[in-house]
Amino acid sequence: MKGEVKMKSKMKWVGLLGLVLSAFSIFIHFLLARFTQMGVAEYESSVTIFSWRPVFEKPIPPTNTPSYRKLWGPVKRLESLYPDSNPRGHYADPVSETNGFIFVRIQGGFHEIRNSICDAVVVARLLNATLAMPEIQSTTSSKGISSQFKSFAYLYNEEQFVLSLAKDVTVVRTLPKDLKGARRKKEIPVFKVPYSASPFYYFHHVLPVLKKHSVVELVVSEGGCLKATLPPNFEEYQRLRCRVSFHALQFRQEVQELSAKILQRLRAPGRPFIAFDPGMTRESLTYHGCAELFQDVHTELIQHKRSWMIKRGIVKGKLSVNSAEERLKGSCPLMPQEIGILLRAYGYSKDAIIYVSGGEVFGGQRTLIPLHAMFENVIDRTSLSTPWEMIRLYGKEVNLVDTPGPPPFVEEVTKHAAWKSAGPRPRPLPPPPARPKSYNIEGWWGWVAESDNEPDSTVIELRTNAHKLLWEAIDYVICVEADVFIPGFDRDGKGHPNFASLVMGHRLYLSAASKTFRPDRKEVAKLLDEIRDHGHHANHTWLESVRRHLKKTLLDGIMEASNKSKLLSFLSHPVPECSCSRDSFEVSKNSSSPLTSQLVTSLGVAHRCPAWMDTGPISQSKDKENEEDVYEDDSVSELFFKQNAENHEGDSEVNIKEENQFEDQEDDSGER
């Protein structure tokens, strides 16, 4: 008996020791996963596909088929354009003796920051000044963000920025100590630079002050401090803008690594994907008077913001705007369901992968529900990353507890005062207590009905604004690398080119032949109104009109951007200054590609690419060049011709016959 008791006691101690060791082992593993470079995210990526479960109904057609080339292939007529932003004439290195230091404070969102940095570098070159690292106000004004990354380094790689511009301008990390102290005491001259200022403004106003004080501070807002179009003799400064935006401005390492991981996971199924930027921010909708596209409190939010803009002179117009008329004029963004209809009509199947970019989609996720109904693989960065990866991207941040109470209710206070001074009883019961309200960017904003002023941004909201810069940086990388890009809107809350415009300009510079749709919103509004009441019964003529329009925008949209967008933002259309052609202009006049030669000439690209770029032959086959104009997709969108079996059983056979007939017609046209 004693032996059995001793044995049981030993077994208990052994079991207890095993449990302790197991718990200690698990704890050590979690610590290693949390604080090593591999982390939990890589472990999770090996056992799950995150929150995205791709659904594919049929295989992607081979890359050498006309159907694939029409949907995903490059634009043949633009294949001869290559990026070339190197100096082409005499271009001296920056001298050691400069006129002084320029310190730049930049206000605004992602696209405004990027435009402003490029302008600041060009201004420093113009004035022969030393540029101190620009300060990004969106990060420095935020509270609670990681101290690991400060200002410029929160978004961009400082070392890459300095080294890439070594032959253009002298860039220093900070001002010298004496000038830094003078800046703290506000003893250095400050210029609030007007938007789109001319070079002569800097020569006549800024340069004399710079020479006198050896330092000036520029406050830049609205997304730019230099004119987009410069005189012909300033062409080298335009190429400098390209070198800054497309080469020197590289995101910091953590952003690049996470962007690469998300892009890898996006391409893991082995299929091409579409990037879609809605461009639906509250500011842009307000500026262009598009309130009635929404309902309920979202319309009130837009009108509230429009009233605020009118009072400050940002918007010149009436408070109430007919949104339907503005939409027909092309002033309002295309809604996600409208983009979905265009893509389905063009021939993209419902299992196509669509990546939705943007730090904010006004109206919340419910505005994307129709797009999800048309395409099964609609995703964003949150579907392809883990919370651990995002936390690592933000850096170590302090914990914030910020639960703001409701704003003061003026009406309720008045009712209480009236009740207390109502005289002797009987008197009415006091008003009920106010309902607690929360402030959610996608929820119901209680202050709209209670106050004429918006509540001040909370600390958490300030931190979120800083995070949005990182979110949009990830989206920027993915949109530039996408097989197809389509914007919903290309204007921001001040009428200037926005995030989508920068993406289209970067794609035009880096790979001009990549498929980038630039739909004409005015034309699209007319096409969509034709089937607004019978969308599932669109005829073949309408489908052909949509396809013809989208194919036309692949080329005509570039010409339109040259006449419109470039006047406001050079980076949205860096052609011809930052491009060269591999076509031989003397030969191309008599070659089999007159359309290509005509397009390149109309874009103004007269510079022949250097010999080292001639890595391979350019396809100039007349048949291939005309292929995009002749061929139609061999599948008709189910969105329009396949009806619900329960409600349209009698029409199904007719629709199938029509579909097959239409496919035969398209096949014939493709064989010609």
Distance CA 653, CA 649 (A): 8
- The arithmetic mean of pLDDT across residues 195-210, rounded, is 95
Give alpha helix (H) positions in 516-584.
521-530, 540-563, 565-568
Residue 590 pLDDT more than 80? no
Predicted pLDDT at 648: 40
- Cα separation of 535 and 527, whole Å? 11
Q: In 427-457, which positions are buried (b, 16+ CB within 10 angstroms) versus exposed (e)?
A: eeeeeeeeeebebeeeeebbbbebeeeeeee
User: Are 205 and 191 contacting, i.e. CB atoms less than 8 angstroms apart?
Assistant: yes
**CB neighbours of 282 closer than 8 A, spacing ≥ 6?**
301, 302, 305, 360, 362, 493
Predicted TM-score (pTM) of this structure: 0.82
Q: Which residue has the tokens 């339109």?
A: 560
What pLDDT is recorded for position 64? Answer: 87
Place of tokens 């639906």: 280
Mean pLDDT of 255-269: 94
DSSP tag of 454: P
The predicted-structure confidence for 37-83, as pLDDT tens digits, reads as follows 444 334 333 334 467 888 888 888 888 899 999 999 999 999 989 99
406 contacts: CB under 8 Å, gap ≥ 6: 434, 436, 437, 446, 450
Distance spanning both ends of the chain, measured CA to CA: 98
579-581/81-83 β-pairing: antiparallel
| Rounded-to-integer distance, Cα 138 and Cα 131, Å | 20
Q: Are 503 and 480 in contact (CB under 8 A)?
A: yes
Q: Between helices 540-563 and 521-530, what is the axis angle to 10°?
A: 170
pLDDT higher than threshold 60 for residue 257: yes
Instruction: Write the single-letter amino acid at 244.
Output: V
* Rounded Cα distance, 309 and 306, in Å: 5
For range 573-586, the mean pLDDT = 81
Q: How many helices (H) and strands (E) does the chain have?
A: 29, 13
- pLDDT category at 430 given cuts 50, 70, 90 is low
Residue 440 three-state SS: coil
Poorest-pLDDT segment among 28-32, 142-146, 325-329, 571-575 = 28-32
- DSSP assignment, residue 636? -
For the ranges 271-280, 632-641, 656-665, the maximum mean pLDDT occurs at 271-280
- Residue 241, φ and ψ in degrees, nearest 5: -60, -40
Whether 588 has a pLDDT exceeding 90, the answer reads no
pLDDT of residue 336 exceeding 80: yes
Does the structure show a pLDDT above 50 at 630?
Answer: no
The mean pLDDT of the chain is 80
Which of 204-213, 262-271, 302-311 is predicted least confidently? 302-311
Note the pLDDT of residue 423.
65
The closest alpha carbon to 437, from 416, 467, 412, 415, belongs to 412
Structure tokens, 366: 């419910």
Residues 110-126 pLDDT 10s: 999 999 999 999 999 99
Of the ranges 205-219, 255-269, 416-430, 605-619, which one carries the lowest mean pLDDT score?
Answer: 416-430
Q: What share of the chain is helix, strand, coil (3-state, %, to 5)?
A: 50, 10, 40
Express each pLDDT in 174-186 by its tens digit.
999 999 898 888 8
pLDDT in tens, 435-455: 444 444 444 455 665 566 777
Highest mean pLDDT among 84-93, 180-189, 477-486: 477-486
Full set of structural domains in the chain with CATH: 101-250 (3.40.50)
pLDDT digits (tens, 9 = 90+) for 509-560: 999 999 999 999 999 999 999 888 776 677 889 999 999 999 999 998 898 8
Share of the chain above pLDDT 70, in %: 76
- pLDDT (tens digit, 9 = 90+) per residue, 127-164? 999 999 999 988 877 778 888 888 999 999 999 999 99
Q: Which run of H or E residues covers position 25?
A: helix 2-35
The rounded radius of gyration (Å) of the Cα atoms in the chain is 29
pLDDT of residue 563: 83
Neighbouring-strand partners of residue 356 = 276
